[in-house]
Structure 1
Amino acid sequence: MNQPLAYVHPGAKIAKNVVIEPFTTIHNNVIIGEGTWIGSNVTIMEGARIGKNCNIFPGAVISAVPQDLKFKDEETTAEIGDNTTIREYVTVNRGTIDRGKTVIGKNCLIMAYCHIAHDCIVGNNCIFSNSSTLAGHITIGDYVILAGMTAVHQFCMIGSHAFVTGGSLVRKDVPPYVKGAREPLSYVGINSIGLRRRGYSTEKISEIQSIYRILYQNNYNTTQASEIIEAEMEATPERDEILQFIKNSKRGIMKGYFSNN
């Protein structure tokens, strides 16, 4: 850690076996956990909370103040979970008074040039490909994959295990377990490949497909489909997660490509 060409504020709390490469700047009120590697030319600003065994590549800026004119220098944080990799020139802004923090979960891979704005909450095991951008106040579940150059509108939600294809503009909420593609972003099926990789059985995948067939392919509106799913589909954690996501959606869920929903 004792790198003479890096600047570490005396008020920063750095675990003993953290590696900090030359020309990196670490500000006051920063905590970095054991086994983390910080590449050269990284800037880690006040309020950063970085977990164990993370890798942060050159040029990244963590916990800069929000790009929000309402921000009044309130004390907030940017939190990064254990075993997460932040690639080159990623920017992660800290929170505002709204949520008080920006969070990236454990075991995530955030590829080069991604931006994660203030008050975003990102789950565990997510992968954001190059130049994906989150506006403020976004909530993303576990195991979400954003392909390259995806842009997500502020206040949107993306459910767990969803996949969004490259170059997408996400203006509506993306439910759990689905694939989103086309313009405007639309339901094009469930993320069956991702679910198989994560150990979901053929029967469970079929159940999820049946739920989304009612929601997106039977010409019901969202309210009608939700009532039918609740009445006719067996109560399971996946069914309940989907119904709760729809109920909590403030922006509305993305539409189905093959329906008038």
Structure 2
Amino acid sequence: MTQIHATAIVDARAQLDSTVTIGPYTVVGPHVHIAAGSRIGAHCVIEGHTSIGQDNQIFQFNSIGAIPQDKKYAGEPCELHIGDRNTIREFCTFNIGSPGAGGVTRVGNDNWIMAYVHIAHDCQVGNQTILANNTTLGGHVHVADWVIIGGLTGVHQFVKIGAHAMVGFSSAVTQDVPPFMMADGNPLAVRGFNIEGLRRRQFNEERIAAVKQMHKLLYRSGKTLSQASADIAELEMSLPQAASDVATMCDFLAQASRGIAR
């Protein structure tokens, strides 16, 4: 049977797998779905149209699925989807989506989310990310796979952070951060590319060489963004093993909406 502490309040309409654990004084609302193996700590509130996947560990004192901090919100049945195998530490706040923007906030799989992280309405967080303590994502932020964000960092609404990027401690992220890059500061600036992270993820020398060249074209060549983007697209011909990485960068630059951090 589902392990629900006697002091927890779980709505009879909530859908909980038989292997879910619910800690003391936690409240679970009627539209919540929690899949197999997930463990919810004490004093959490899980509400709204929220789905939580398998084998997540949600520590005590979290607010999951509350309505968005958006004055336009008027009670629409928007959603929050959390994937599998995420670790969510204490005092985090994840909001459901808002109408007019898809209505869904998403958190993927295998993320390590530390204490006091805020994920606002309509954010899209990928897989294998690390969000350190007090990371704050404004509404509609996109965080791609394998991103690391340092503690006490604020990310402005609608900003995109590309795959394998790293943002340093106490940064103000007001522009898009391209894939593979390392950025920090206030004002934000790109300091280099995430070579150590790429090596840890088994990028071979040709793929790392391609990322190095992309960094050079964007930040060291003196070219305009459109010129640098065109030159980056041509790297696929000379570095075929990095074709997917080149495509990742080209797609990101084509969709950047707030200008990229320079």
TM range (shorter): over 0.9
| One-letter amino acid of the counterpart of residue 139, structure 2 | G
> Does 1:197 find its partner at 2:204?
no
Instruction: Please point out which of 239, 242, 245 is paired with 2:252.
Output: 245
Of 52, 61, 65, which residue of structure 2 is paired with 1:63? Answer: 65
Check conservation: 2:172, 2:185, Cα contact below 8 A: no
Deviation by residue 1:202-240 (Cα, 9 ceiling, x = unmatched): 221111101110111011111111122224552611112
Q: Could you report, residue by residue, the CA deviation over 1:154-190 in whole angstroms, capped at 9, with x for unpaired residues?
A: 0000001100000000000000011012331111111
Q: How does 1:150-169 map to 2 (within 5 A)?
A: 150-169=153-172
User: Within 1, Cα distance between the matches of 2:4 and 2:167?
Assistant: 42
Answer yes or no: is the 8 Å Cα contact 1:211–1:233 preserved in 2: no
- The question of 1:92 aligning with 2:94 is answered yes
- SS of the equivalent of 1:79 reads strand
Spell out the pairing of 1:185-224 with structure 2 (5 A cutoff).
185-224=188-227
**Normalized against structure 1, the TM-score is what?**
0.95
After TM superposition, the score normalised by the length of structure 2 is 0.95
Aligned residue for 2:112?
Answer: 109
How many Å separate the matches in 1 of 2:175 and 2:62? 29
**Is the 8 Å Cα contact of residues 31 and 48 (structure 2) preserved in structure 1?**
yes
Structure 1 residue 245 displacement after superposition: 0.6
Q: Distance in 2 between matches of 1:2 and 1:59?
A: 16
Q: In the alignment, which of 79, 85, 90 is matched to residue 77 of structure 1?
A: 79
Paired residues, number:
255
Return the letter of the residue paired with 2:260: I
AA partner of residue 94 (structure 1): I
| Structure 1 segments unaligned to the other structure (5+ residues) | 256-261
Task: Report the Cα distance in structure 2 between the residues aligned to 1:94 and 1:110, rounded to whole angstroms.
Answer: 17
